[in-house]
């Protein structure tokens, strides 16, 4: 009988490039490939340690002198909406949710382009074409869903009433909002906030504990909305902890704020790689 040893994930570091969140900073990411039979198990394990998925890659910020980016998640059982968030839910209660397999459409891409042109015209995705958009949505080795939000009174338009879209991963302990976008013409309705509120509802319906929101970055206006949700935790100093007062966090740089890459990798807890494990 032939036995093969499981191959441990290999970790790499990207070259420094301009930070999309804090002006004048350089970002660097620690990443590993997400593939094979153990992809879901690896994604579950590393998501609990502050990693995020992009297609078939898991990554976590590992900047040389900056540790401002903090992975954030909501404890769904403890979440209570603010008065403002309750009003957002009422304003958008006519929207209809539809969960599908991760398959890109031209209507989604049209909405995606409108969103980018309005919100992130100078961002790293600004030049993304339809094929790259399809790859972002469809190249997933784990359980993912594309969740569309439509307005029933606008199904006659070219987007068939499409107001928002979210690519969502299903983890063993929660939902992860990989990427979401919405119609910028409805900014006043706070559709982006509504999508998060609805994902909290979905997580509760599925009996999941957390909603992973991606990174919260103190000092970045485009990320400030995440700290407005109650029961928010951030992954900091190797563990999840309640965010507390967001004003107590600093985006200041320091040459000793990040441990050496070798130490970071050594502390990563990997899942059991035995494919026969229950």
Task: Tell me the C-alpha distance between 226 and 80, whole Å.
Answer: 14
254-272 tens-digit pLDDT = 777 778 888 999 999 999 7
Return left, alpha or beta for 188; rule: phi > 0 is left, psi -120 to 50 is alpha, else beta.
alpha
**262 and 127 part of one domain:** no
Return the pLDDT at 4: 44
Number of Cβ within a 10 Å radius of residue 113: 17
Per-residue pLDDT for 274 more than 70?
Answer: no
**151 and 79 part of one domain:** yes
Assigned domain for 3 exists: no
What is the pLDDT confidence band of residue 91, given thresholds at 50, 70 and 90? very high
Assigned domain for 4 exists: no
Return the pLDDT at 276: 44
**91 and 57 part of one domain:** no
Domain that holds residue 33: 11-70+252-266
**DSSP annotation of 24:** T
In sequence order, the 6+-apart residues with CB closer than 8 A to the CB of 88 are 189, 190, 193, 194, 197
Instruction: Please give the backbone phi and psi of residue 170, each rounded to the nearest 5 degrees, phi first.
Output: -105, 110
Task: Tell me the C-alpha distance between 187 and 182, whole Å.
Answer: 9
Per-residue pLDDT for 219 more than 60?
Answer: yes
Assigned domain for 98 exists: yes
118-130 tens-digit pLDDT = 776 565 666 788 9
pTM of the model: 0.91
Return the pLDDT at 65: 85
**42 and 128 part of one domain:** no
Instruction: Classify the C-alpha dihedral 248-251-257-260 as positive or negative.
Output: positive
User: What CATH number corresponds to the domain at position 189?
Assistant: 3.40.630.30
**24 and 83 part of one domain:** no
Assigned domain for 148 exists: yes
**15 and 86 part of one domain:** no
233-248 tens-digit pLDDT = 999 989 999 999 998 8
């Amino acid at each position: 009988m032939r036995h093969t040893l499981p191959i441990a994930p290999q970790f790499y570091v990207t070259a420094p490039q301009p930070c999309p969140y804090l002006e004048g900073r350089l970002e660097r990411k620690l990443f590993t490939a997400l593939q094979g039979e153990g992809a879901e198990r690896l994604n579950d394990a590393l998501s609990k340690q502050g990693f995020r998925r992009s297609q078939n890659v898991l990554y976590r910020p590992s900047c040389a002198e900056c540790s401002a980016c903090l992975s954030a998640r909501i404890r769904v059982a403890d979440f209570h909406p603010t008065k403002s968030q309750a009003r957002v839910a009422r304003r958008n209660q006519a929207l209809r949710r539809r969960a599908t397999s991760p398959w890109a459409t031209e209507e989604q891409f049209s909405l995606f382009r409108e969103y980018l042109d309005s919100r992130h015209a100078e961002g790293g995705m600004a030049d993304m074409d339809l094929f790259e958009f399809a790859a972002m949505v469809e190249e997933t080795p784990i359980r993912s869903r594309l969740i569309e939000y439509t307005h029933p009174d606008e199904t006659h338009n070219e987007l068939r009433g499409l107001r928002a879209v979210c690519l969502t991963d299903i983890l063993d302990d929660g939902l992860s909002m990989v990427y979401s976008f919405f119609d910028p013409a409805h900014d006043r309705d706070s559709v982006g906030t509504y999508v998060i509120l609805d994902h909290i509802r979905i997580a509760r319906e599925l009996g999941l504990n957390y909603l992973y929101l991606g990174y919260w970055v103190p000092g970045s206006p485009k990320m400030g909305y995440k700290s407005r949700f109650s029961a928010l935790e951030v992954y900091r100093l190797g563990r999840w902890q309640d965010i507390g007062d967001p004003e107590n966090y600093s985006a200041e740089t320091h040459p000793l704020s990040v441990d050496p890459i070798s130490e970071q990798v050594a502390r990563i807890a990997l899942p059991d790689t035995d494919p026969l494990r229950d």
